[in-house]
Structure 1
Amino acid sequence: MKIIPMSWGTNRLTIEDLNEEEIQTVQKLYEQGDYINKWDGRNLDKEYVYRCFTVGDLPPNGTKEQFKIQVIRMKASRLIVGILTTYHGYPKPETFYINYLYIDKEYHKQGLGQEVIHDLLRILKEKHYTEVRANVAIKNWPALRFWTKLGLNSINGIYGDKEHSMNAYAEIELIMEL
């Protein structure tokens, strides 16, 4: 199985598997991004990080061994500034799925998310993945701009409500061939 490293880094960041003692801290960071729920129609998951740590955020027939939740830290201070959850091998063995990426709002617009993804893409190529996917709420314009700018600009599908309305939601699955 081709799994990304437990610990890896960029120029300014260290990305490491979540430790149990960090669950509450990382859950607070996750909850900071609850504004996304107005775009995707979901409710805030008060157990998201714990669930990811214990059983994973899995696709149909997925296994915990192929899932990762990692924290993103500033190298200099070791301060946790982000979360990355991923799945290795869905829907095909050579596909890498980015479930969730969030950077602390205090660190937005500093290029940290781009830095993480640029290095992650390098690792995925070394591991011989052939594509990377991310699912984004259609109303989440900042995320759509972010992912398409990084090269995830092919649309695999649109899922969700069929009719547009203020209370309708849909997601778009973006793909990048590696």
Structure 2
Amino acid sequence: MKMIPSQWETNRLTIKDMTQQEITTVQELYEQGSYIHQWDGGSLDKKYASRCFTEGDLPPGGTRAQFNIQVIRLKDKGNLAGLLTTYHGYPTPESFYINYLYMDKELHKKGLGREVVSELLSIVEQAEYREVRANVAIKNWPALRFWTGQGLNTIQGIYGDKEYGADKYADIELVKVF
């Protein structure tokens, strides 16, 4: 199985594997995005960055070797701009899973997320994966618009509560086939 590079670039960004020294700042960025839990029913994971670095955020039967956590930095300033976690080979060996993508709230609406995903999709396709998947909370309309706009526009499945309600949650798994 081919892994995405440990470091890669876009026009304005550098993306590289997270180091142990970055755990605290990455955790702060992750917590900045905790508002998504109003849409997915989850709760804040106070050890998310550390857990991802040591154990990974794994699917059933997954291994740490197939998981990747990468930081996204602005090329011009070197500032932490975002976080990307991915899994290589789930649910099939030909599948590439985008677990989590978050860009600093101060950088929203600047096209940086699109820039990351565009290059990532190119890398994944060159690595000969057959599909890319992402799981999105149905109530997270901005993320649904974003991912479908990036070509992940086929619904693989809907998981979670069967009925709508303020305290009910479900996710939609979106797929782009190459």
Give the TM interval when normalised to the shorter protein.
over 0.9
Describe how 1:89-128 pairs up with structure 2 within 5 A: 89-128=89-128
CA RMSD of aligned residues (A): 0.4
Count of aligned residue pairs for this structure pair: 178
Whole-Å separation in 1 of the counterparts to 2:65 and 2:89: 11
Aligned counterpart, 1:131: 131
Instruction: List structure 1 runs of 4+ shifted beyond 3 angstroms.
Output: none
TM-score, length-normalised on structure 1? 0.99
Describe how 1:8-23 pairs up with structure 2 within 5 A: 8-23=8-23
Per the alignment, in what secondary structure is the counterpart of residue 36 of structure 1?
helix
Per the alignment, in what secondary structure is the counterpart of residue 4 of structure 2?
coil
Aligned counterpart, 1:37: 37
Q: CA deviation at 1:138?
A: 0.2
- The reply to whether residue 87 of structure 1 matches residue 87 of structure 2 is yes
Query: AA paired with 1:102?
Result: Y
Per the alignment, in what secondary structure is the counterpart of residue 83 of structure 2?
strand
Structure 1, residues 45-88: CA drift from partner, whole Å, max 9, x if none? 00111000000000000000000000000011111110000000
Query: AA paired with 1:135?
Result: N
Query: AA paired with 1:169?
Result: Y
Query: AA paired with 2:172?
Result: I
Per the alignment, in what secondary structure is the counterpart of residue 65 of structure 2?
helix
Aligned counterpart, 2:161: 161
Per the alignment, in what secondary structure is the counterpart of residue 57 of structure 2?
coil
Structure 1, residues 79-108: CA drift from partner, whole Å, max 9, x if none? 111000000000000100000000000000
Structure 1, residues 127-166: CA drift from partner, whole Å, max 9, x if none? 0001000000000000000000010000000000011111
**What percentage of residue pairs aligned between the two structures are identical?**
65
Show structure 2 runs of 5+ residues with no match: none
Query: AA paired with 1:170?
Result: A
Whole-Å separation in 1 of the counterparts to 2:138 and 2:73: 29
TM-score, length-normalised on structure 2? 0.99
Aligned counterpart, 1:68: 68
Query: AA paired with 1:83?
Result: L
Query: AA paired with 2:65?
Result: E
Whole-Å separation in 2 of the counterparts to 1:52 and 1:19: 11
Show structure 1 runs of 5+ residues with no match: none
Per the alignment, in what secondary structure is the counterpart of residue 98 of structure 1?
strand
